[in-house]
Amino acid sequence: ADRMLWTQLPKELKVLCFRLLSSENILQCSCACRADALAVDAEELWALLFHRDWKWLCTDGPCLKSSARQSHRRVARKVQEFQAAFVVLGGCVRRGVEGRHRDGSVLSVLTPDRGKLLSWRSFGTLPLASRCAAGVCSSGSSTTSGRMVVAGGFDFSEEVALASCEAISISGLLSGQPVVEACPSLQRPRACPGLAASAQAVLAVGGGSSMFTAAEAFSSVEVLPLGAQQWLAGPSLKKPRCAAGVCVTDSGHAFAVSGYAGNEMYEASVEWLDLSSEGLRNGWHFGPQLSQARAGCAACFGPDGCVWVLGGGCDESASLDTVERLDPRVGRWQEAPIMPGRRRCFAASFGVDRKLYIYGGWNRERWHEDSAARLDLRNLCWETLPSPMGEADSIIPYHFVSGCTAL
């Protein structure tokens, strides 16, 4: 009798029931009968499953050129085979003769080897603009042509902000043969911008005229629609923010957290923006305020549905090791386990293993915090990881780094 009642349910109700199961169990149901197979094949079911299983990792959503089921399967395969990496981009300053410096860019990738041990691979001769303090994000993670986008930054030797923008093929990066493609330059040079990807565009949020305390901080935002040949003006922030933490949630909201506001002012405020077409027209809104200012913090959206904000600083010298997280559904910030080491302007991202990775940064005691670690959300304990390099041969590596998870 129960089976008969189930068989008679409309497809829409079966979809709502199936969404509570794992994707593996759902696929097994497709063999039961034709009515179940139709529900299992429903695009609306796999859109729900993609949001549930992978939207925290691929906040720009499923591929627009394929079905949600194909996107779900593609991301699941990448995760199962660990076809992903924690990627760090930073400046590399070489001390030259007569006190001169020359800037470079170094890209380092943290992946497991065949024995599942984590190891770094670095690329120092890529055709990237030489800079530190660039904005970095991953775009198109659910596609076969995902890429890492790099925009803005600061040439430390020449002391100028940059408008350069490049894209790096993620598949090439993971295979050890990264391909760099030049992209349209930003409308204005931006040191320390925040970068975020939506389903339709990449956003460059705030930034400043330099990475130093006397910098002018920007409230302007630029948007590069997919396939476009130039950056466009986006909705401006309510407050200027240089070196703000920027991330996107699974609900399609971009968060801009803290930042340096200019004139020796450090923001503890938070703003959010709905990345839908209507939301972009409505502009930014203030969100729950942090316990303290965190200029140079890292912001990440996690598998627990929370926005995580790490480190940063509330003045020009002291960096923080404290961490806060915001559940947007609850609307208040809570303390989280402190990081190993005080740091600002560093790389942080959740990996496909649902752990939070960090590397690098600056603090008052050390020009460069050359350490890496990851946080396991199951026990909220930090684990020390190998570091890619240290200062040697007149090279200062990775000052003011950025990072993301490449998938």
* Per-residue model confidence (pLDDT) at position 389: 62
- Alpha helix (H) residue ranges in 92-187: 170-174
Given this model, what pLDDT does residue 175 score? 92
State the DSSP H helix or E strand holding residue 36, giving kind and residue range, or none if neither: helix 34-40
| pLDDT at residue 97, as a whole number | 63
Which whole number is the average pLDDT over 142-161? 90
Confidence (pLDDT) at 392? 40
Higher-confidence residue of 214 and 282: namely: 282
Q: Quick one: average pLDDT of 73-80? A: 91
| Predicted pLDDT of residue 236 | 98
Q: How far apart are the first and last CA of the chain?
A: 46
| CB-CB neighbours of 167 under 10 Å | 19
pLDDT at 296 over 80: yes
Neighbours of 236 (CB within 10 A): 15
Residue 205 pLDDT > 80, yes or no? yes
Summarize the confidence of residues 25-48 as an average pLDDT: 84
Token reading at 236 = 């401006």
Higher local confidence (pLDDT), 283 or 156: 283
pTM (whole model) above 0.85: yes
Residue with the bigger pLDDT between 102 and 204: it is 204
- CA dist 315 and 363 (Å) reads 11
pLDDT at 393 (0 to 100): 42
Rg of the chain taking only CA atoms, in angstroms: 22
Provide mean pLDDT across the span 137-165. 91
Contacts 24+ apart (CB under 8 A), 124-130: 124/92, 126/168, 126/178, 126/180, 127/166, 127/180, 128/89, 128/164, 128/166, 128/180, 129/105, 129/153, 129/155, 129/162, 129/164, 129/166, 130/91, 130/102, 130/103, 130/104, 130/105, 130/155
